Amino acid sequence: MTTSAVPRPHVLTVDDDRSVHMALALELGDHYELSSALSAQDAVEHLYRHSADAVVLDINMPDISGIELLKLILQRYPAIPVVMLTGNTEPRIVVEAMKAGASDYVVKSSPEVGMELRFRIDQAIERQKLLGRNRALEEKIEEHEKDFEIVGHTAPILKLKSQILALKGHSTTVLITGESGTGKELVARALNIQEADKTRKLVCVNCAAITESIAESELFGHEKGAFTHAIRSQQGKFVAANGGDIFLDEIGELSLSLQSKLLRVLQERVVTPVGSTEAIPIDVRVIAATNRDLHEEVQAGRFRKDLYYRISVIPLEVPALRERWEDIPRLAEHFLRQFRAEGLRISASAISALEAHPWPGNIRELRNCMERACLMTKAAGKSTIGPEELVFSDPVYGGMAGPRVPAQLLPHREEDLDPVHRAEFIDWAERLYYEAGLKATGANKKRLAERLELSRDYMHRRLKTLQLSNSGAEVMA
């Protein structure tokens, strides 16, 4: 049996010197399928008719400059990497080419130029393949986010999404666990909407919100006259969900007596309304959720062991926001779109503050924080959400706390390392410091400057830049 050979990458070389093409053919011909172009027009026509996996482009061309041709190629064919070939070692030229979008460059006079060129071409092609795979993954993630509203691409959330997809077409009982505010109901909705029947019902019940006296009636229904004020028969939530899903949120809040009755429903797949002797068959998938540790609740005698085993056939754990902080920028942007905050952006220092907060209230707290920030930013007539617009819930002292200094004083990612991010961060830190200093001196800016051993002119300029020049009534002389 013969195996088909892997096709060699197609590389277009662009140079106005025929001898260069001959030299490149000797160096590269055994590794790539080569085509050549002697002018910019030849190169553009070739790419239009045949495309290429990579382009090797001379920086000096007779009709237009190599930089201009580079820009033209990338404008029309952004997925084709371009390696610049230059005899000019002037740094300005190389920097200009890289800024214009070149994948790499090779100097013609370099020793072992052929080997170096092959390395740069292979690296550029592989990088482009990785970018393509990343784009495909991003599109898949965005598709899932659009369908399920479960936003994020970190490992814990991708694992959760894959588990949800694996349950498509199955009617097995599911137990969703996770801290309060992590989005357990979104997971239940994702399980429901991914089914083939788009009209499939989802009935949600907050078990913590129904009192013990009416809980049985709410879940299983009742007959007219079954108890005082039962002036008419009422259908229970299980019957309402027949043929679909019922989501029992905070199932750990149910009393032991109601847990016993729920267990019977799950085992026998029938419900008996209060005041009736007639059992009603049901076909319902139960999706339960809790923020309690049900194993500990069983050990403490507050939750039935048999019911625990019955509902935890398929356990799904929703990660806390602090375990997936890399998703915070994406979530923040998602909420901006949700609030229709057109024209608003989030500064890098605000993102750092969001990432550093522990988020005891998880996604729910982040959503509330972003909603307040949008309102405060618009009210101030600003277009950028800064750290000063972020107000976090304080679980220890209650009420609201001001912005906190990030736990990590340096950026989280390499792409955060830029002068703008640094300046924003320094402005934020200085603003917090000077605000506290103004409070400590009774808004006496002159005394603040003296205590910090700063000139009054400098202090005046900084307070004005940081929008603190009108703080207090004291005017700096």
In this predicted structure, the answer to whether residue 477 has a pLDDT above a threshold of 60 is no
Based on the fold, state whether residues 38 and 184 are members of the same structural domain. no
For residues 400 and 445, state if they share a domain: no
Residues forming a β-bridge with 288: 175, 248
Distance CA 402, CA 432 (A): 10
Are 171 and 227 members of one domain? yes
Give the integer Cα–Cα distance in Å for 413 and 130.
19
409 part of a folded domain? yes
What pLDDT was estimated at residue 12? Answer: 94
DSSP secondary structure letter of residue 389: G
pLDDT higher than 80, residue 293 = yes
Are 385 and 432 in a shared domain?
A: no
Do 276 and 302 share a structural domain? Answer: yes
pLDDT at 422 over 90: no
Q: What is the pLDDT of residues 298-313, one digit of tens each?
A: 999 999 999 999 999 9
pLDDT on residue 4 = 53
Contact 149, 184 (CB under 8 A): no
pLDDT in tens, 147-168: 557 888 888 998 998 899 899 9
pLDDT of residue 137: 63
Which residue carries 């039962």 as its tokens? 230
Where among 317, 351, 383 does a domain terminate?
317
Could you tell me if residue 86 is inside a domain? yes
Neighbours of 246 (CB within 10 A): 25
User: Is the residue at 370 inside a domain?
Assistant: yes
Range of the domain at 187: 155-317
- Tell me, what's the pLDDT at 371? 92
Residue 136, domain member (yes or no):
no
Per cent of the chain over pLDDT 70 is: 87
CATH number for 402: 1.10.8.60
Task: Indicate which CATH number applies to the domain containing 241.
Answer: 3.40.50.300
| Helical (H) or strand (E) element with 376 | helix 362-379
200 and 344 inside one domain: no
- State yes or no: pLDDT of 472 exceeds 50: no
Q: What is the 3-state secondary structure (H, E, C) of 249-293?
A: ECHHHCCHHHHHHHHHHHHHCEECCECCCCCEECCCEEEEEECCC
Q: Per-residue pLDDT averaged across 198-227, rounded?
A: 86
Are 125 and 162 part of one and the same domain?
no
26 and 102 fall within a common domain: yes
On whether residue 23 sits in a domain, the answer given is yes
| Residue 302 domain-assigned (yes or no) | yes
Banded model confidence at residue 368, pLDDT cuts 50, 70, 90: very high
**Using the 8-state DSSP alphabet, how is residue 321 labeled?**
G
Q: 378 and 422: one domain?
A: no
For the chain, how many structural domains are there in total?
A: 4
List, in order, residues 6 or more apart from 140 with CB less than 8 Å away: none
Instruction: Count the neighbouring beta carbons within 10 Å of the beta carbon of residue 92.
Output: 8
What are the tens digits of pLDDT across the range 21-50? 998 898 898 899 999 999 988 998 999 888
Distance between CA atoms of 141 and 135, rounded to whole angstroms? 10
Q: Rounded distance, CA 270 to CA 221, Å?
A: 12
